[in-house]
Structure 1
Amino acid sequence: MKKLLNMKKKEKPIRTPKEKKPKAEKVKPARMKKPKKAAKASKIKPPRTARQKAHTTKSSKPISKPIGFVRNKMKWLGRQIVKSIRIIPTLLPKKSVKDAPLLNGNVKVLPQFCIQTKLIGCYLIPVMLIVILGIVSYSRSSRALNSNYESAVSQTMNMANEYFTFAFSNIETDMNTVLSDGELRVYYSGEYTTNETQQKTRDDLKKKSDTLKSKLDSLTPGTLEYYKIYSEYITAKNDFQDASDVITEAQEGKKNTYYSFNQTIGNKVAANQFIGNIYIVKSGFNTFSTQTKLRGQEDKSKEEIENKINLYPKGEEIYSAFLDTDLGKKVSMDATKYYWVGSGSMPELDKLLLADSSNYALRLAHDVTTTTEAVMIVDIKKDAILNILANFNLGEGSYVGIVTPDNQEIVLDGKALTAEESDKTSSKNNIVKETIYKDQDFYKEALKSKDTFGKDYVRFHGRSYLFTYEKIGNSGIMLCSMVPQSVIVAQANSIRVLTFVMVIISCIIAMIVGTLISKGFSKSINLSIKELAKVSKGDLTVEFRTNRRDEFALLYGSCNDMLANIRGLIMEVESVYDTLSVSLNKVNTSSTTFSETTKDIQSSVHEIEIGVGEQTESATDCLNEMDSLFTKINVVNHNTNEIGSIAASTQVAINSGLTSMDNLNAKTKSTTDITDSVIQTIKELSVHSKNIGQIVNSINDIAEETNLLSLNASIEAARAGAAGKGFSVVATQIRKLADQCLASAGKISNIVTEITEATKEAVSTAQTAEEIVDEQVEAVAATAHSFQTLKQRIEKLSEYLESIQSSSKDMEASGSSTLNSMENISAILEETLASVTSVANVTDKQSEALTSLDDASSQLMIRAERLGDAISKFKTK
């Protein structure tokens, strides 16, 4: 965004004097491109979509120009150009000078015909053209810059609108996924709901079971009535357990679904940077929410429920408060749309939802279509919205923000928009408190407009602003910005100031350059006249000197050649003497410097010789140390091999222990299976014992009935008299058999009771054995895990040992290589010592030769001074 808003024209490179200017630039000056073409040519501008082209082609109010200022400047320039043209005839040379008068040195030159005046006039003509070019360039560039700035603002708003639209669309897509979630549908369908009839049935079965249990405890085991009550008690207990399981399963399913779906919406909040909180409210149900305090009893601990800690309003209270808001009325009227509103418009609902209006910027709601009297509410983080708005850089004094359908505004001013990246985190403190857009006529017109975007120049607080708006998708939210017109024209004003300054500087430079050049001509001419006057009086020592490279240089050169031929041999001898003196001085200086340098080299060579000797001794010591280090590396390598052997044997022992543990684990499992089989057999024996008891009861009943029959038979036999004696005997025998059956049944009942008690003790003993076996299995598993861990660590130790062995071998190889290198270094140092000794000898010989050269130079200087004394007798200077 900053690149689009800070576009500048690239400056043309300044040509050096050696560069040739293209012919086209001599014919006509470079023109500023039209605004639209300039916008196209900008390299940093991205490819335009059809929507962005519409932004650039849409008309906006033109910016006012200082027309009077330009007109006055043009008149003044016209007058100056006329004055300059009048001087042009004086600058043109005459075609013929045959009729010109013959002048002498007393001629007077008028100021208007002097070279200085003519040169300044010539320079003023291009200066005037530069002024005209500056004014035209300013006019066209200002229009282009303003158009580019407006287009950049529009493109920035368009990109922000696309980003907001994409973000809001993602939010609605995520919420559609939440609304269509199967867990939400199952939770609200009543699948996990239990009614009062089911709970009453469970309570009645519980009472019946307790009653039969009490009655059973009061009866004597082994009787017929005891077994009848026992059978009814078992049936009632099983029915109660089944009813309890149904209710418990429903409660657990409801709780798990509630917790799982809360986790689902929590993941949605964590995955989307814009979503702050999600609430799903339904009358008669607990509220789904990412606010943990707002969740129902399914998500609370038993202690919190019993002490009524962290228990907040139920769904019907929140849903009723939601319906009382304007947002709730819109959602209830149309269940197919998402409705967006701003923060702070529903304080009562915020209080129930435990929401802070300062933490969310927007709120959207949608009806839960899979059930009735339910709604989903989503809060959008304020920081996420502010972070996007803070990335706008529209200049000082600008405003950018969003306006919701319920006329709630979030607007940032220019301080937040132009802040550094490190200061944008505090953009919440830069929110404009006053109302910016919603009460303004231009905003109302934009709101009524069918266009999804637009721009216009408007008046706000007595200043002119560029108002730009973008409608964000179908949310009803409008993205608005206002940029002061002064910021837009600031770059054009800077160009105007720069053009004016450059024109003034050009005029000053032209005046200065013309003055300097004319003074240079006058100075050269006056100097020539003065020197020629001396020559006319017979002074042959005159010299014409100049730094110029024009016709004056040719004139001075010809005069110097003329005087050189006159001076002849004297000047040539004087030149030879000067050259000889300079050369002797250089030779003397060079000889002295070379002598001092040779002494320094000689001293340095001796120091190098000492240093090389010390390096040789150090190399010998280093060689001895490397031998010792090589020995220690061999010891480390040997010890590492020994440790590796120990680790390998340890690993073999661990593998054997693991095999033994696996065998023990298998045998323990077999013991567990046998124990389970024994327990099952004992339980079956207990059931058979109970069946025997029932049979004994039946025998007792038959015996009692037989006694009654024998008694009746005896009575009937007594009535029959003698005829019934045989029948009486039979009745007596039957009674005896019945008594014997009763006695036998009693004994069998006692045996069955003993078997039952023994069976219970056997079951208890078998269960104890099973627990011991389970503990043994756990102990075996823990031991096996310890062996496995030890095996892994031994394997890791083996890997480290292999790495150490490899490193030791590498160190051994490196030690050998280093030892060879040290031997080579020692040999090279010995050769260097011999070379340094040879150089020292050569340096001593060179010092002796320099002493001889110094003596010869002194003798030559004495003779040159004698030659100079002889030449000074002639008047040549």
Structure 2
Amino acid sequence: MGKRQNILLERVSIMANKKMKTAVKSVKKQRTKKALKRTKVQSMENKKGVLFSIRAKIFLCFLVPILFLILVGVFSYKKAAAGMYDTFRDSNEQTINMANQYLDVSNSFIEAEALKYAFQSDLGKYMIGLYETDAVQRKTVINSVGSSIRASQAGNDFISNIHIVTEEDVQMLSTKAGGTVMGIYKDYKNEMLGYSDNGKKIPEWVDYHNTLDDTLGLKQSDYIMAYQTTPQSGKGFIVIDIKASAIKQFLDSLDMGEGSIIGFVTQSGREIISEKLPDGQESTRADGETVFYGQDFFNNLEDQQTTKEVSINGKSYLFFYSRMERTNAAVCALVPMEIVNGQADDIRNVTIAVVLIACVVAVLIGIIISTGIQKNMKRISGRLEEVAEGNLTTKVSVKGHDEFNNLAVVANHMINNNKKLVQKVSGATDTLESSAQEVRQASNVMKDYSVNIIQAIDEINDGITKQSEHAEECVRKTDTLSEEIQNVSSIAGQVEGLVSEAENMINHGMQMVQTLGERATKTTDVTIKVETSIEELKKESEIINEFVETITDISEQTNLLSLNASIEAARAGEAGRGFAVVAEEIRKLADHSAEAAGEIQNNVTHITDQTVNSVENAKQARDMVALQTEAVQEVVGVFDDMNQCMQKLFDALKEIVSSTEQADKEREDTLAAVKNISDIIAETAEGTKLVQSVAAKLQENVDTMNQTAQSLGDNMNDLKSEISVFKTE
């Protein structure tokens, strides 16, 4: 006992020394790992510093409002552009509509002026030639009307000329200077009827009057269209030309922006164009070239007023259209989209300039602020790095009176507290010495209990050896038993399969027997029907042949009779002509009878063919009987298979019985082995109680020793290594 205790003490002391050395090595390794980890963290922080530095965050803080400012600018630009577009569109639509109304009102004045002359009774009488015999009255009317139409021409800027178209033998009146011109009523009327839609009603507003132009020497460029009406007498026309230059002057007065094109378009396509060109720029439009009429965007316009965006020669325009109710002429305009979006583009440019200036100012302010912050952060981080390395005598100082100054004060307070803490920790060596004493006491207690543990372990080993032998025997028996049981289950499965197969075969045999019965019945019925059909067909064929022979004889006799009748009729001469016709009809009837007999003969041949088919049906019936015979043979084979399966079933049952008996014997051996194992386990349990009690006490002391040793090692090594780093004086 004494030798064992000494050996245990030596082992415990050796283990304690090893643990102390291991603790020292682990502390050194931990310090090395911490240093490596610190350098890695510093390098990672340096890499992250560029992205997550204060300067970057300050720039981000300044840029976020600028981004929102950009978004506000974009939104404002879009809203302003949309609002200006709508405002510009509405204002120009009002301009075009007002121009349309103005010209329409002017046209109404012209219509009123023409109607004034149409209802003058003296002028109406003059136009139909009532004053041709009265020279004084004729002269008075000519002077009065001439003065009146010249006054109307001078009083209305839109009137180019006024013409009074009379009968051919009456002098025409016109504001156009010239000699005496006689009337052209018929020629003028025929021309106007050509402009009519239906060729009957003369239109009130026309774009041309070629007959009048040729007669009076008028230029079509002087007028854009003309209004005409007839007097009360219905003979003649009062024609008022609309001055093209007045329309052009009016269009020039409309201002819809630089580069815009304003036009007056008549119903037949005559145009007056006003281009708002920049100073010094000349029009590129050729003479006679239309701007609106005939274009895709102008054709097929059904609405009286229209506004839409169009593209001409790759350039975008805003197209305005307004049609007059009286004349069906239209006032149109093309405004470049550059004018529409010009003010919005100015707002956009100003917004971009403001944003750029704000970005530059923000960058400059951010650089100034971030530079000051970085300098103070470098001062603080430099001093804190010295503290991390162990220098507790350093002091943190910054420039300024902001939050960094407060941070420096707090850092200095932290350094002073750490200095005091390190000084207190350095006096904790007494506690470590008492911990070492406790470790030695625990080792002595553990020495006393180790002997008992060894004895108990020996006894347990003996019991475990016996237990393992019996356990192995039990395992072998159990394996054998499991194999037999598996055989039994396999055989049982085969039996179930055979039983299922036997049932299926029996069912199949029953179905085939039923099928054989049905086939036999059908075969019998078919055979009977075939025989009956053949007999009936034979009888019918014989009867029909008899009828055919009779009909053939009758037709031959009839032919002979008709021939004799024809001969007698020929002898009789004129008196026998009627009888000859009858004889001829009888002969035809005999011929038809012969043809019918031939058709009947064909039908009999067809019936004979059907008889042959019936014979083939009889052969098929014999084939079906042969199939039934084969089916019966299959039934016999099926029942033979059933007998074999039943025999296999009985053999399998015998094997199951023998396997079951063997399993019972093995089960008894297994029970005996298990009983031996239980006895050994009972003996082992008694020794285990002693081991448990000793192990519990030993565990308590071992835990105490380990905790104390761990505390001792950690305190001594960590404190010595860590405190040696700090500098407090």
TM bucket normalised to smaller: 0.3 to 0.5
Instruction: Pick the structure with greater CA Rg.
Output: 2
User: TM-score, structure 2 length as denominator?
Assistant: 0.41
